[in-house]
Structure 1
Amino acid sequence: MFDANVLGTQLVMKHTLPVMSKQGSGSLINISSQAGLVGIPRGSVYAASKHAVNGLTRSAALEVAAKGVRVNAIAPGPVETDMFDRFVGRDAVAKAEFLSRMPTGRIATTGEIAATALFLASDSARSIVGQIITVDGGYSVG
């Protein structure tokens, strides 16, 4: 897990940021997790790996911003996926309990994560650099 999340992110940046820097523009969007912003029970290695992704994102952003390249990350919370269903969604009681802790009362969709990525990649986000954008329905707020 640590290799996939941290080493994988580092390798993508290693091979894409020099190209973007040379062309003088680009937007690299890493995928983090709300677990990279808060701790999670029984998920310390996963949380640590996503904290590392956030550190890589912020540090790389500082290294390449002057070259016209932006680096940011999206930190999804719970998202309606097969993985979510495996852990929570198949049990109606567990899902209802989980939803009761969500300020919005709903789980994000993959489309919402994609829309966030499209925005970050757009010129409308030119001044967003080194940020971790949380898409979690308020779950990590408190």
Structure 2
Amino acid sequence: MLINSAGTEGQPAPHNQTTIEDFHKVFDANVLGTQLLMKHTLPVMTIQGSGSLINISSQASLVGIPGGSVYAASKHAVNGLTRSVALEVAVKGIRVNAIAPGPVDTDMFDRFVGRNKDAKAEFLSKMPTGRITTTEEIAETALFL
């Protein structure tokens, strides 16, 4: 099993204020990192005749996020990689899935909303459960897949 969970959100900013440097930083970590890890893991899984690749995407890839257009686009690219590679390797007994959580209780979430308690409260008010996801819940989902 390979879980691609490393990534970065970049600098939150309105789209017209994003920089090419931030774009490359986010896409290199989120997309190129995912691509390279899958590419170099697939030969081993092919020899085994089985395996599971899990890519951590984001709800932002599905619905967008104000101030996070580059992050959302990078996670949308992860979804495209996931779907395409899944179609390529299914006949080899290899499963490829993405998990697209909403806000997760991590340092990345804290950096994105800042120390602004109102911003955090706004996120929580939109969550059906009234709370953000934990990393343990994502790990349990990955193990299920």
TM-score (norm 2): 0.77
Q: Which residue of 1 aligns with 2:109?
A: 84
1:62-92 deviation line (CA, Å, top 9, x unaligned): 1010111000011121011122223337333
Q: Which residue of 2 aligns with 1:68?
A: 93
Q: Which residue of 2 aligns with 1:128?
A: none
- Note closer, same or farther for the CA distance 1:26–1:54 as it changes in structure 2 (3 Å cut): same
Q: Name which of structure 1's ranges 93-102 and 64-73 shifts more when overlaid on structure 2.
A: 93-102
1:5 and 1:60 map into 2 onto residues whose CA distance is: 16
Q: Which residue of 2 aligns with 1:107?
A: 132
- Note closer, same or farther for the CA distance 1:85–1:74 as it changes in structure 2 (3 Å cut): same
Q: Which residue of 1 aligns with 2:62?
A: 37
1:24-62 deviation line (CA, Å, top 9, x unaligned): 000011111111112222222111111110000000001
Q: Name which of structure 1's ranges 17-26 and 83-92 shifts more when overlaid on structure 2.
A: 83-92
Paired amino acid for 2:136: G
Is 1:95 matched with 2:120? yes
- Residue 37 of structure 1 aligns to a residue whose secondary structure is helix
Q: Which residue of 2 aligns with 1:26?
A: 51
1:7 and 1:112 map into 2 onto residues whose CA distance is: 25
5+ unaligned residues in a row in structure 2: which ranges? 1-25
Paired amino acid for 2:87: L
2:67 and 2:118 map into 1 onto residues whose CA distance is: 21
TM-score (norm 1): 0.78
- Residue 141 of structure 2 aligns to a residue whose secondary structure is helix
1:34 and 1:115 map into 2 onto residues whose CA distance is: 18
Paired amino acid for 2:65: I
Q: How many positions carry a matched residue from both structures?
A: 120
Which structure carries more relative contact order (alpha carbon 8 Å, separation 6+)? 1
5+ unaligned residues in a row in structure 1: which ranges? 121-142
